[in-house]
Amino acid sequence: MSVLPVRTFERQLQDAPRAPGAQHAVRDAGAAGPDRATEITLDLVTTRAGFDALETSWNDLFARAGRDIHMFQTFNWLWHWANHFLPEPGAAGPQLAIVTGRVDGRLVMVWPLVLERIGMLKRLSWMGEPVSQYGDVLIDDVPDARSLLRSACDLVTRRTGASVMQLRKVREDSAIAPLLAEMNAMVTAELAAPYLDLVSAPTFAVYEGRYSNNARRKRTRLRRKLAERGALATVCYTDGAEAEGLAAETFALKRRWLHERGLVSPALSDPRTAAFFADATRAASHPAGCHVMGLVSAGRPVALEIGVRCKGRTATHVIAYDLEFEKSSVGALLMEDSIRGAFADGMAVFDLLAPGDRYKLEWADAAVAVRDWALPVSFAGRLYAVVYIGFAKTALKRGVEALPIGLRRGLSRMLAGQSGD
């Protein structure tokens, strides 16, 4: 593809270097500029109807340019998100701010963002929070993609009047990470996402040889002992009422686990999160690659996993177990079954997602860095990034963790809306 450069915005980004020999044209669809058959035209989608209209072209772009790490940038995943987290027109909450890029009408880039007002600030963040675990841009193989992304960033911040762009859970191998580093965005947090390289062994039997004999014997012994309590089975559903029911049970178990430990998770306590996964696993419409797997003892689910699959990658998104069976290590037994199932289904990567908890690292082969970034656009945005994200939010989290467990349990129950779970 060969296209010609043109000036498009009120101000030119002088610090956007082009790769040697690469050229593309960028035109803001809301700004005047000459018509060129081969130019890349940027636009901003702000309505639900506009998002829905992207379905076919978004899916085509994903088939061409989507990678396995983009499981949370599929149209279907974000369609379910919009059904549960996008407010009615005029209501408070996140508003769509999706940047699109087209060449001769063909979609070549989607940057899925939302705009939300926080006090006097306007903040841009990923469409899909808090249920998405990785954020990124979908972009085709276009010349000088970095410069195109800079132009897209300029468009969305200028059109929305955003004070700050806060992009959480960005993988170091994502399309957007190099641009954020180049623009001197602030890293506000860094975690590790452990993963298993399943293609490194021909079978699960060979793969599990990397784990210690003691660990394998222990799991075998625990499984045998658990089977003495009643029939033991592993089930997996990708749609239907069974999947929906087990997804709901996963969140019930998870909330009980959080409450017992006095842990506070606004995302898991939000009823919209559980409703999202119930719909996404039922998949009556727009399947999003979700599955729910359960270890069932005597007809009772004792450990559950909600996962997502995309282009050879399977990710364990939510894991929960019955506290009554904690000493039986039912979570570890289900993890073993899940990895074995991934091998059987031809998956290439088993992604444990961030954070890199110790139990995940015990299973994993390696980990990739996942960072939170903040890109201030205004002075107020810089204060928000430095003072709130960089200091106050961290101090607040530590303060909550320092509370007596009884108070933390009360706070957890309050966030859950007095659900009683």
- pLDDT for position 35: 46
Listed in sequence order, the residues at least 6 apart from 242 whose beta carbon sits closer than 8 Å to its beta carbon are: 235
Q: Are 195 and 364 in contact (CB under 8 A)?
A: yes
Residue 15 has pLDDT above 50, yes or no: no
Question: What's the mean pLDDT in 261-278?
Answer: 90
Question: What's the mean pLDDT in 367-380?
Answer: 96
- pLDDT for position 106: 96
Kindly report the number of other CB atoms within 10 A of residue 236's CB atom: 17
User: DSSP E strands: which ranges in 290-401?
Assistant: 290-297, 300-310, 313-321, 349-351, 366-376
Question: What's the mean pLDDT in 331-345?
Answer: 97
Task: Give per-residue pLDDT as tens, 375-391.
Answer: 999 988 888 888 877 65
Question: Whose structure tokens read 């298993």?
Answer: 196
Q: Are 134 and 170 in contact (CB under 8 A)?
A: yes
DSSP SS3 for 401: helix
- In angstroms, what CA-CA distances link 348 with 87, 172, 200, 313? 37, 19, 9, 6
Question: What's the mean pLDDT in 81-104?
Answer: 95
Question: What's the mean pLDDT in 318-337?
Answer: 97
CATH architecture of 26-184: 3-Layer(aba) Sandwich (3.40)
- pLDDT for position 5: 29
Residue 14 has pLDDT above 50, yes or no: no
Backbone angles phi, psi at 35, to 5 degrees: -80, 125
Q: Are 361 and 373 in contact (CB under 8 A)?
A: no
Helix (H) or strand (E) holding 225: helix 213-227
- pLDDT for position 363: 97
* pLDDT bucket at 261, cuts 50 / 70 / 90: confident
Handedness of CA 376, 147, 68, 288 (dihedral sign): positive
Question: What's the mean pLDDT in 58-84?
Answer: 98
- pLDDT for position 389: 79
Task: Give per-residue pLDDT as tens, 131-176.
Answer: 999 999 999 999 889 999 999 999 999 999 999 999 999 999 999 9
Question: Which CATH superfamily is 195-369 part of?
Answer: Gcn5-related N-acetyltransferase (GNAT) (3.40.630.30)
Do the two domains 26-184 and 195-369 of this chain adopt the same fold? yes
- pLDDT for position 392: 45
Share above pLDDT 70 across residues of the chain, in percent, rounded to a whole number = 84
Residue 22 has pLDDT above 50, yes or no: no
Query: What is the average pLDDT value for the chain, to the nearest integer?
Result: 87
Residue 76 has pLDDT above 90, yes or no: yes
Question: What's the mean pLDDT in 228-247?
Answer: 96
Residue 188 has pLDDT above 60, yes or no: yes
Question: What's the mean pLDDT in 92-101?
Answer: 97
- pLDDT for position 32: 45
Domain boundaries, the chain: 26-184, 195-369
